[in-house]
């Protein structure tokens, strides 16, 4: 039981997919304009990660090594399509603002990375907690990045204006702002890690 | 062979299961998706005309003409139509509501890709609300957004044009024609004769980083004097604030990183001054502070301080400000005139006027040379800049390669392409306006981020000139000097690799 908790918590800090493993940066850069987008993307990626980790862990004895990659991709793509259809049906506004980045979760290296590095070697319960932890770590990283970007770039958080008279720094709403925020945060987390060591 | 069949079977099985699962999810969500799609359009229509209860499309689907809006009593109360026209960088589509008298009830920009912070402001309510209750055929009280004249004009023109069409359509409609009326420092790097690459023994001289830096500061003073004469004391405040903020940031970064504090070498002072020279004179004073902090902290210290930065720090700061607060960065004040108070009038820079396709009036080459026109603090007075540049050239702190190739390339390229026809461009105007002289002599000659050898410097200068001209003629911004220098800074390690001096005896 203790080890399961560990599988879950490592994804959040010690092996955070965005700041430590540096996986899945493409959607992180692209959708982190607002917190709402960050949460939506985080949930969609967590759903896909959980679903694919579970199924892959379940069928790992059955799938021959030589064709594992195409099998994983088919499984991942299935979950991505489910996520996309549900988003279109129940939250069309979120679907419109995330756009092409939802179907692109298929090629998100974080999802395939966990399938290759963890789910295909571990049992169902461990894979489930690994997927959940990684998904949570990814979602939290997205919320942090998009929170900083939304606040600086538009003066708001989740559409609410925080400080009156604050002149938004447009550059943080643009792609260059995403690179700037992620670069500085990566530097900051590495600084903390080095100081601890 | 047997293996292949087995693999194929397994993969096929997984695909079949996946397909089955997807078919199930699709069946569950299909109806809901269709419903959401349908709900979209009317909600936009309803925003335009809140009082209407029902909209009836007129015309067949690919060529939808307009919608007729009816109130709850089935009475025709107006029309909603889509107007579109090419703006500055994209086609702008607007949804317009018009009532029976031909006045506009509301407009909404539904699709555009204009410059963020400038043209993109057409989507703000401040702009769109002006259209309310305007006569759709004249829009006489609608004001274009400062710095976004082209985008604003496109919206207005498209509305007027389309309203006219709709009016004609309706008048020719036999059913209801009657009720409708419408409508980077390596020491001695880059120094021409001072850069002698030779074997030992070496003779020591009194040159040092700080001596060079303080001479550069001295050479920048004439431009500051000119800035104050032209724009008033505001220009001095902006320059002082930017310089103090740059030096303080350098000091704090030195303390935080526990490295030697390097403020006495004068490089931060130069960064501060150059940044201020690239700002309009009447910006709020927090703007140069943030720009200076960004220039030193992100543009320089994060790379490891003086000698490590890959881009010119002052330009990094300027570009950051330009992308963040374009409205302040593009509002220029007119030079002070006798009799006119300190409440300066805003005016566009000559390059911006040219970009908008208007004809320049009352501006002679002599006025451009002396700096009697709107622009950034340190860029307008060419005479003052040339005095400073002469000091640096005579002392041998900068070589002629970059400035000459930069300026000549810009002149040549604009002469060929900037005119109404080929070889009719006003090259002298392009040399004298904008930040070309400031950029060519003081920023493109930065020791850190520019190539080491003469050959490399010539390539660098030509590249800067090309980018500047291309941006000025076809780009989205009226001025391209800062972007041109930054882009060429990025190519410096590459240029250095291919142009470095061969060591004698090696291949």
pLDDT digits (tens, 9 = 90+) for B269-300: 999 999 999 999 989 999 999 999 999 999 99
The whole-number pLDDT of residue B507 equals: 59
Confidence of residue B382 (pLDDT cuts 50, 70, 90): very high
Percent of chain A with pLDDT over 90: 39
H-assigned helices in B206-279: 209-231, 233-256, 267-277
The whole-number pLDDT of residue B173 equals: 58
Asked if the Cβ–Cβ distance from A170 to B36 is below 8 Å, we say: no
Contacts of A88 in chain B (CB under 8 A): 29, 33, 36
> Do B496 and B449 touch, CB atoms closer than 8 A?
no
pLDDT digits (tens, 9 = 90+) for B177-194: 334 333 333 333 333 344
The whole-number pLDDT of residue B35 equals: 82
The whole-number pLDDT of residue A183 equals: 93
| A87 pLDDT higher than 80 | yes
Confidence of residue A64 (pLDDT cuts 50, 70, 90): confident
The whole-number pLDDT of residue B467 equals: 96
Better pLDDT: B42 or A184: A184
> Do A76 and A112 touch, CB atoms closer than 8 A?
yes
A-B CB pairs within 8 A amount to 67
The whole-number pLDDT of residue B345 equals: 58
Percent of chain B with pLDDT over 90: 33
Confidence of residue B340 (pLDDT cuts 50, 70, 90): very low
pLDDT digits (tens, 9 = 90+) for B122-141: 888 888 888 888 887 777 77
DSSP-assigned beta bridge partners for residue B3: none
The whole-number pLDDT of residue B342 equals: 47
The overall average pLDDT reported for chain A is 89
Confidence of residue A72 (pLDDT cuts 50, 70, 90): very high
Per-domain boundaries in chain B: 54-171, 209-499
| A185 pLDDT higher than 90 | yes
CA-based nearest residue in chain A for residue B299: A180
Selecting from B7, B11, B29 the residue whose C-beta is nearest the C-beta of A86 gives B29
3-class DSSP state of B107: strand
Selecting from B25, B36, B116 the residue whose C-beta is nearest the C-beta of A82 gives B25
Asked if the Cβ–Cβ distance from A82 to B21 is below 8 Å, we say: yes
Asked if the Cβ–Cβ distance from B22 to A78 is below 8 Å, we say: yes
Q: Out of A43-52, B83-92, B432-441, which region has the weakest mean confidence (pLDDT)?
A: B83-92
Asked if the Cβ–Cβ distance from B29 to A64 is below 8 Å, we say: no
Of B321, B298, B294, nearest in space to B309 by CA: B298
CA distance B476 to chain A (A): 16
Q: Average pLDDT of B488-500?
A: 90
Measured between alpha carbons, how far is A38 from A150 in angstroms, rounded to an integer? 10
The overall average pLDDT reported for chain B is 82
Choose from B31, B115, B147, B324 for mutation: most chain A CBs within 10 A. Answer: B324
| A23 pLDDT higher than 80 | yes
CA-based nearest residue in chain B for residue A63: B10
* ipTM (interface pTM): 0.84
The whole-number pLDDT of residue B183 equals: 33
Measured between alpha carbons, how far is B27 from B31 in angstroms, rounded to an integer? 8
DSSP-assigned beta bridge partners for residue B83: B94
Residues in CB range of B122: below 8 A, 6 or more apart: B87, B92, B109, B112, B114, B128, B145, B148, B151, B152, B155
3-state secondary structure string, B385-396? HHHHHHHHHHHC
Residues of A (70-109) whose Cβ lies below 8 Å from B: 70-71, 74-75, 77-78, 81-82, 85-86, 88-90, 92
Burial of A121 (0-12, 13-18, 19+ CB in 10 A): exposed
Is any Cβ of chain B less than 8 angstroms from the Cβ of A188? no
Selecting from B10, B14, B32 the residue whose C-beta is nearest the C-beta of A89 gives B32
Is any Cβ of chain B less than 8 angstroms from the Cβ of A61? no
pLDDT digits (tens, 9 = 90+) for B103-119: 888 888 877 777 766 77
Highest mean pLDDT among A85-94, A161-170, B273-282: B273-282
Selecting from B6, B18, B29 the residue whose C-beta is nearest the C-beta of A89 gives B29
Asked if the Cβ–Cβ distance from B116 to A66 is below 8 Å, we say: no
| A122 pLDDT higher than 80 | yes
Confidence of residue B62 (pLDDT cuts 50, 70, 90): low
pLDDT digits (tens, 9 = 90+) for B261-275: 777 888 899 999 999
Residues of A (131-170) whose Cβ lies below 8 Å from B: 167, 169-170
CA distance A167 to chain B (A): 8
Q: Out of A7-21, B253-267, B301-315, B352-366, which region has the weakest mean confidence (pLDDT)?
A: B352-366
Class in CATH terms, B54-171:
alpha beta
CA-based nearest residue in chain A for residue B26: A85
pLDDT digits (tens, 9 = 90+) for B430-488: 999 889 999 999 999 988 889 988 899 999 999 999 999 999 988 878 888 999 999 99
The whole-number pLDDT of residue B204 equals: 66
CA distance B158 to chain A (A): 27
Confidence of residue A109 (pLDDT cuts 50, 70, 90): confident
The whole-number pLDDT of residue B194 equals: 47
Q: Out of A53-62, B129-138, B350-359, B386-395, which region has the weakest mean confidence (pLDDT)?
A: B350-359
Choose from A51, A67, A154, A187 for mutation: most chain B CBs within 10 A. Answer: A67
């Amino acid at each position: 039981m203790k080890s399961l908790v560990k599988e879950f918590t490592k994804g959040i800090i010690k092996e955070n997919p965005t700041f430590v493993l540096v996986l899945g940066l493409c959607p992180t850069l692209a959708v982190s304009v607002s917190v709402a987008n960050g949460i939506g993307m985080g949930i969609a990626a967590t759903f896909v990660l959980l679903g694919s980790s579970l199924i892959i862990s379940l069928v790992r004895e059955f799938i021959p090594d030589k064709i594992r990659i195409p099998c994983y991709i088919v499984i991942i793509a299935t979950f991505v399509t489910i996520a996309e259809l549900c988003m279109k049906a129940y939250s069309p506004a979120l679907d419109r603002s995330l756009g092409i980045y939802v179907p692109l979760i298929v090629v998100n290296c974080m999802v395939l990375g966990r399938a290759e590095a963890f789910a295909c070697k571990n049992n169902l319960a461990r894979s489930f907690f690994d997927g959940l932890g990684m998904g949570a770590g990814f979602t939290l990283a997205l919320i942090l990045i998009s929170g900083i970007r939304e606040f600086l770039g538009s003066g708001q958080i989740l559409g609410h204006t925080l400080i009156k008279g604050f002149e938004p720094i447009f550059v943080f709403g643009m792609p260059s702002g995403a690179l700037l925020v992620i670069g500085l945060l990566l530097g900051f987390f590495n600084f903390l890690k080095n100081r601890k060591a | 062979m047997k293996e292949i069949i087995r693999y194929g079977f397994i993969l096929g099985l997984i695909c079949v299961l996946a397909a089955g699962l997807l078919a199930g999810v699709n069946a569950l969500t299909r109806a809901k998706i269709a419903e959401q799609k349908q709900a979209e359009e009317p909600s936009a229509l309803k925003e335009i005309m809140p009082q209407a209860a029902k909209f009836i499309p007129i015309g067949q689907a690919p060529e939808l003409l307009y919608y007729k809006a009816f109130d709850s009593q089935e009475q025709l109360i107006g029309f909603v139509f889509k107007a579109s026209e090419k703006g500055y960088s994209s086609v702008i589509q607007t949804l317009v509501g018009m009532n029976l008298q031909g006045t506009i009830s509301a407009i909404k920009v539904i699709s555009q890709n204009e410059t963020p912070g400038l043209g993109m402001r057409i989507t703000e309510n401040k702009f769109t609300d002006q259209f309310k209750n305007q006569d759709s055929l004249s829009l006489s009280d609608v004001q274009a957004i400062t710095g976004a004249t082209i985008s604003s004009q496109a919206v207005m023109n498209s509305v007027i044009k389309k309203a006219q069409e709709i009016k004609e359509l309706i008048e020719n409609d036999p059913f209801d024609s009657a009720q409708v009326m419408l409508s980077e420092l390596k020491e001695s790097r880059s120094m021409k004769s001072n850069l002698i690459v030779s074997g030992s023994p070496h003779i020591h001289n009194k040159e040092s980083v700080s001596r060079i830096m303080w001479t550069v500061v001295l050479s920048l003073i004439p431009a500051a004097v000119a800035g104050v004469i032209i724009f008033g004391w505001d220009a001095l405040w902006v320059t002082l604030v930017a310089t103090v903020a740059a030096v303080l940031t350098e000091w704090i970064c030195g303390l935080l990183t526990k490295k030697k504090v390097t403020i006495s070498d004068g490089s931060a002072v130069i960064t501060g001054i150059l940044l201020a020279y690239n700002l309009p004179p009447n910006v709020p004073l927090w703007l140069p502070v943030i720009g200076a902090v960004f220039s030193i902290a992100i543009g320089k210290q994060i790379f490891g301080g003086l000698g490590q930065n890959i881009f010119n720090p002052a330009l990094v700061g300027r570009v950051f400000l330009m992308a963040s607060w374009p409205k302040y960065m593009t509002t220029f004040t007119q030079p002070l005139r006798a009799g006119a108070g300190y409440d300066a009038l805003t005016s566009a820079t000559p390059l911006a006027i040219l970009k908008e396709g208007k004809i320049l009036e009352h501006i002679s080459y002599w006025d451009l040379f002396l700096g009697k026109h709107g622009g950034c603090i340190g860029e307008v007075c060419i005479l003052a800049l040339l005095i400073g540049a002469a000091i640096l050239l005579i002392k041998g702190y900068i070589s002629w390669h970059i400035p000459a190739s930069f300026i000549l390339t810009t002149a040549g390229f604009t002469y060929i392409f900037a005119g109404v026809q080929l070889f009719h461009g006003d090259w002298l105007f392009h040399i004298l306006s904008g930040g070309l002289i400031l950029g060519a002599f003081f920023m493109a000659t930065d020791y850190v981020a520019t190539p080491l050898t003469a050959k490399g410097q010539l390539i660098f200068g030509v590249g800067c000139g090309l980018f500047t001209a291309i941006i000025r003629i076809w780009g989205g911004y009226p001025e391209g000097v800062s972007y041109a220098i930054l882009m060429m800074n990025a190519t410096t390690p590459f240029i250095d690799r291919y142009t470095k001096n061969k060591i004698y005896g090696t291949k």
